[in-house]
């Protein structure tokens, strides 16, 4: 009986050691990928970092905390490749190198997402994680429920959406849009990107969150800001040439961009303000709307 007991304990110990050995599984793989190829990544939790590089190949380095026998899988060819972390794996830390011009589609439940140096198209989605993009991608779609989103650098087109997460947009863009339910939107528009400076076209909307636009407007561009109850702040250089159309139903308007002062709204409530900093129709168009929030216009 004693010998059988020792054998049983030895079996348990070996099983535990085996589980420990696979609990921190490593993945290091590399495949050919066209310079404009497509990569699809699915990983439920942990972190995902995607880096652009000057090589026609796709490389993955990952650490998997396997809990339920799940695994990492990859399929595809030099045109399209899909990388999948099984939900049973648990948390996974992925670092993926892709050609700079690649298209990246990424979906997660709660992973933290970071993308840097990719000039192609990005489609990024996570329910609870944060998203951060650094560089000059051609097109960005970024969506998260509770996490924050930051785009830094410049884009030709970007669409960002959150439920409660804050949004920070830094750099220049031809076509920039962001919406949130209760998060704050901060736009710091500056620099040169793809044929223009600042933001050429922008549309930013929130329900209860504040919106702040700080920086340069495209010469003949347009920016729209709308919040149900949040505060809207527009801060632009003193040399900005633009037509301003501002309205609040239950809030107040403060104008530090010129001498024009708000008047009572046409419906008898709230305030409205329309003026031009320069010849009418010669510059950008700025439209700001709130239901019961305040609107502040300031010089940088």
Of the listed ranges 141-150, 271-280, 282-291, the one predicted with least confidence: 271-280
Residue 22 within any structural domain of the chain:
no
The pLDDT value recorded for residue 148 is 97
Quick one: pLDDT band at residue 2, thresholds 50, 70, 90?
Answer: very low
Banded model confidence at residue 67, pLDDT cuts 50, 70, 90: low
Q: Give the pLDDT confidence score for residue 90 in this predicted structure.
A: 77
Residue 300 in domain? yes
With a cut of 50, say whether residue 21 has pLDDT above it.
Answer: no
pLDDT band of 24, cuts 50, 70, 90: low
Query: Is residue 103 assigned to a domain?
Result: no
Q: How far is CA 177 from the centre of its chain?
A: 11
Query: Once rounded to an integer, what is the mean pLDDT over residues 56-80?
Result: 87
Residue 131 belongs to some domain of the structure: no
Q: What is the reported pLDDT for 300?
A: 86
Average of pLDDT values for 77-81?
97
- E strand or H helix at 92: strand 91-99
Please tell me the number of Cα atoms within 13 Å of 25 on its side-chain side: 19
Position 266 scores a pLDDT of: 73
Do the bridges between strand 103-108 and strand 121-126 make them parallel or antiparallel, or are there none, so unpaired?
A: parallel
The answer to whether residue 269 sits within a structural domain is: yes
Range of the domain at 258: 148-300
Residue 26 confidence (pLDDT): 87
Q: What percent of the chain has pLDDT over 70?
A: 87
In a domain, 30, yes or no: no
Which range among 19-23, 85-89, 251-255 has the greatest average pLDDT?
251-255
Amino acid 154: pLDDT: 87
SS3 labels along 95-129: EEEEECCCEEEEEECCCEEEEECCCCEEEEEECCC
pLDDT at 188 over 50: yes
Domain count, the chain: 1
Can you tell me the distance from the alpha carbon of 217 to that of 234, in angstroms, rounded to the nearest whole number?
A: 11
Please give the average per-residue pLDDT across 257-284, as a whole number: 84
Tokens of 232: 């809207």
Assigned token pair, 220 = 């003949």
17-26, 89-98, 205-214, 266-275: lowest mean pLDDT where?
17-26
Residue 203's CB: how many other CB atoms inside 10 A?
Answer: 17
Residue with more model confidence, 297 or 7 = 297
In a domain, 166, yes or no: yes
235 half-sphere exposure, CB direction, 13 A CA radius: 13
115: confidence class by pLDDT, cuts 50, 70, 90 = very high
């Amino acid at each position: 009986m004693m010998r059988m007991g020792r054998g049983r304990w030895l079996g348990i110990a070996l099983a535990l050691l085996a589980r420990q050995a696979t609990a921190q599984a490593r993945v290091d793989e590399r495949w050919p990928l066209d310079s404009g190829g497509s990569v699809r990544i699915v990983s439920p939790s942990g972190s995902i970092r995607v880096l652009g590089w000057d090589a026609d190949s796709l490389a993955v380095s990952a650490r998997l905390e396997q809990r339920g026998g799940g695994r990492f899988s990859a399929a595809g060819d030099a045109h399209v490749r899909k990388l999948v972390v099984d939900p049973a794996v648990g948390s996974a830390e992925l670092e993926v190198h892709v050609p700079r011009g690649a298209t990246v589609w990424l979906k997660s439940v709660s992973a933290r997402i970071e993308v840097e140096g990719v000039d192609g198209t990005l489609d990024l989605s996570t329910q609870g994680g944060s998203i951060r993009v650094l560089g000059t991608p051609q097109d960005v779609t970024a969506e998260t429920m509770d996490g924050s989103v930051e785009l830094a650098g410049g884009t030709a087109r970007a669409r960002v959406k959150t439920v409660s997460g804050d949004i920070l947009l830094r750099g220049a863009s031809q076509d920039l849009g962001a919406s949130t339910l209760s998060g704050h939107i901060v736009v710091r528009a500056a620099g040169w990107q793809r044929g223009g400076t600042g933001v050429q076209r922008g549309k930013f909307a929130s329900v209860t969150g504040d919106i702040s636009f700080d920086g340069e407007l495209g010469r003949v561009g347009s920016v729209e800001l709308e919040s149900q109850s949040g505060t809207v702040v527009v801060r632009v250089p003193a040399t900005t040439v633009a037509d301003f159309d501002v309205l609040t139903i239950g809030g107040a308007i403060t104008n530090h961009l010129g001498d024009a002062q708000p008047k009572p709204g046409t419906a008898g409530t709230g305030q409205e303000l329309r003026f031009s900093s320069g010849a009418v129709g010669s510059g950008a168009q700025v439209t700001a709307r709130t239901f019961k929030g305040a609107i502040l216009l300031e010089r940088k």
